[in-house]
Each structure stands twice: as structure tokens, then as C-alpha cells.
Structure 1
Amino acid sequence: MSESALREAICRFGRSLFERGLTPGSSGNISLRLDDGGWLVTPTNASLGFLDPARISRLDRDGKLLSGDKPTKEIPLHGALYDSRSSARAIVHLHSTHAVAVSMLPEIDPRAVLPPLTPYSLMRAGAVALVPYFRPGDPAVADAIRGLAGQYSSVLLANHGPVVAGDTLEAAVFATEELEETAKLYLLLRNLNPRHLTPAQVQDLVTHFGLTLPEHGHDH
């Protein structure tokens, strides 16, 4: 896909996420890693619902701005996930309501934020790790994400929102949406003792679909 088409795709998916209320105002950001090692990144203070393809930030492999507007301040966040997951080609970070709400709950296991509620939560988002709170844009968040050693494609920032990597932009967007829906289900079912997928059912998904789940990532 050409760079022009990738820019259009970022705008199209960003508008879709915004229009469905998955990230309000000028929150959230999207990045794509290009074949030359550089990135396309949504600009700082830009609403995902009103992106201009020509103004999307173009960075070189060292993070230097080559063209477009000033990039999001969450560059350290994106960079750490790309560095630790070599298969990642796109990252979506949102402030989606239900995922943020779950990140604040006291019972959350940081190694597996959400229990195995549905097959698609595992197939798309996988296990989700919780990262402690950091000020938005704080470079220290990069160390916290690198500390996960690339085991997770989906990370939830405490009191902030999800960060999800995928091997395509579409995969990253769909996984982020699945994470948000699973968080919503968790909140709806909280304290109702719902049936989770059993370890055998989880293992069947792992075997059938070739999933890679981190140790302790699904032992609820």
C-alpha cells in the first residue's frame, strides 16, 4: 500500500473510532511503521474524527519530524511497543470509556486485566497487561512497556486508556475495539459470577488459531 493510501486509511479508521465515541475530543493517537523504519503518526492535539492526510506527521526511523504537523506527545509509548514487538506495524491508543474504567478497578491482575470472556477477546486482543499510571507523554512509560518484554500486543495504561499493536492498521483497530467491548462486558457482569471460558476452551483456541498468550495470561 502506498504512503498516500496509508495516510487515507489512518484518517478513515480514526474517523470511525471517533464517530462511535471510542475516543473523545482530541484524545487518542494512531501510528504506522513504514518499510523504511520511519513512521506515520497522528499529530498532537488532533481529533481522530477530523484528520487531514497531508498533515499527518512523517517521522524518520530516529523519530525526527520530516513533514506534517508536530506529532503526538505519546511517541515514547508507541516507540517502546514497536521496539519490543518486532511484528507490530500499527499502534492504536484510545481513551475508550470502559477500558479506562476497568483500569481503575482494585481487583485487576496486571498480568491479565480481563478474564477470558469471549473467544474473540483472546483471538484479537489476547491477554491484556496493566501498566501503572504515568503522566501522558512521560518517557518513563516506555521503560514500563519494554519491561513486558514484548509478550503483550494489548496494554492498558492505568487511568488513561488502551494501547494496542497489530501487524496491520486494521488488525490494531479491530483488536482495540474488541478490548473495549470486552471491558464493557466485564463491567456489566462484574460481581455476577459469570461463566468464563474454561482453561480447556482457552487451550483449544490457542491450538486451533495458533495464539500466543503470555504465561499467566489466561489463568482466571
Structure 2
Amino acid sequence: MNEQELRERIAMHGQSIFNRGLTAGSSGNISVRVPDGMLITPTNSCLGRLDPERISKISNTGHLISGDKPSKEAFLHHSMYQSRPDEQSIVHLHSTHSVAVSCLENVDRSNALPPITAYYVMRVGTLPVVPYFAPGDERLAGAVEQAAKASRAVLLSNHGPVVAGKSLDAAVASTEELEETAKLFLMLRQEKTRYLTDADVTELNQRFPG
């Protein structure tokens, strides 16, 4: 896709995400790598009402090239791209069930969600939890960069998920799968549940690598 097509696709996905209640108000942000930097949704923008022409374009050093002022969480995207050079897009939402999991005290900090379904394993894999930092605190950048070395998705404590993908469509699909799995996890917490076994997960990773 050329840059204009990417802008339009960001707006399309943003509207779909917002209309389905996966984020609210002006929360959440989406980015896509381009040869000379990245496109990212502007600060204080509603994902449901994005103007493709006003989506921010910033250089690899963080300088604004065109569009509105970028999301104040652009540094999160830059940090994740640093750790995952093959990924081309990142979605960060405040999706309800994923945020709820990020607030639980007793989750596994190395992998917050168990392998409930095959598609979660295939699209997300593992979900390390990053310690809490206040919004905009740039110490979060180093924590995300470190956690992202192990997984394409990380969960920010008391905040929400940050998910990378090899394309914008892939990043959105993985984010949606993560939110549905978080919902299932919360629904099943009081029930005896069969999770996928280590052997099941190994087979999936061999059959569907990357």
C-alpha cells in the first residue's frame, strides 16, 4: 500500500474498533511503519473519527513531518519497533477485558493469559506484563522494549495492551483475539477449565510459525 492507502486504512480500522466498543473517547492509538518513519494517530483523537489527512507522520527520530501532533504514546510504538524490526504495525487500546486483566494482582507477570484457544496461541502467543508507569512516563519505553523482545504483545499494568503485527490488518486481528481471550479468561476464572497443553502449544507453533 502507498502512504495514502495506509492513512485511509488506519481510519477504517479505527472507526471499526471504536464502533465495536474496543476503545472509548480519545483512548488508544494505531501506527504503521513507512520507509521514512511512521504514521500514527494524533494525540487526543477519537479512533472513530479519524481524518486520514490529519494522521501524524513522524520521522525515525520522532520529529513531526506532517499531520497533527502525534499521540503522546508514540514513544511506546517506537520502543516496540526497536525490539521487533520485522513488525510493521502496532495497535494500543484500552479495551475493557484486557485492561481488567492488567489490573489483577495474581496473574503470571511473564504471561498474563493461559493458552485458552488455538487462535490466541497463533495470533498472540505470550503476554508479558509491564510494570505500571503513569501515562506519558518515558521510563515505560525501556520496559516495553525489554518485554517486546519476548512477544509481539505486551500488557501495560492498569493500562492496556500494545500489540504488533506484520501488517496493520494482522496487528488489529491479534488485538481483537487478545481482547476476546481476556474476556474468556475472566468468564472462566471460577470454573474448572481445560487449557491447551504445552504439547498442544508446541504443535501449533510448529504448524503455524511466526
Task: Name the TM-score, length of structure 1 as normaliser.
Answer: 0.93
Any stretches of 5+ residues in structure 2 without a counterpart? none
Residue number in structure 2 paired with 1:28: 28
- The 5 A counterparts of 1:78-89 are 78-89=77-88
Residue number in structure 2 paired with 1:7: 7
Residue number in structure 1 paired with 2:16: 16
1:15–1:50: 8 Å Cα contact kept in structure 2?
A: yes
Partners in 2 of 1:166 and 1:18 — Cα distance?
19
Partners in 2 of 1:193 and 1:106 — Cα distance?
20
Partners in 2 of 1:25 and 1:114 — Cα distance?
26
Partners in 1 of 2:33 and 2:137 — Cα distance?
21
SS at match of 1:58: strand
1:75–1:137: 8 Å Cα contact kept in structure 2?
A: no
Residue number in structure 2 paired with 1:69: 68
Inter-CA distance 149–189: structure 2 relative to 1 (3 Å threshold): closer
Runs (4+) of structure 1 exceeding 3 A deviation are: none
Partners in 2 of 1:3 and 1:147 — Cα distance?
30
Any stretches of 5+ residues in structure 1 without a counterpart? 212-220
Residue number in structure 2 paired with 1:111: 110
SS at match of 1:147: helix
2:147–2:154: 8 Å Cα contact kept in structure 1?
A: no
User: Share of identical aligned residues, percent?
Assistant: 56
CA shift, 1:148, in A, is 2.3
- The 5 A counterparts of 1:1-220 are 1-36=1-36, 38-148=37-147, 150-211=149-210
Amino acid in structure 2 at the alignment position of 1:15: Q
Aligned pair count reads 210
Task: Name the TM-score, length of structure 2 as normaliser.
Answer: 0.98
SS at match of 2:154: strand
Partners in 2 of 1:55 and 1:116 — Cα distance?
39
2:99–2:160: 8 Å Cα contact kept in structure 1?
A: yes
Partners in 2 of 1:141 and 1:55 — Cα distance?
27
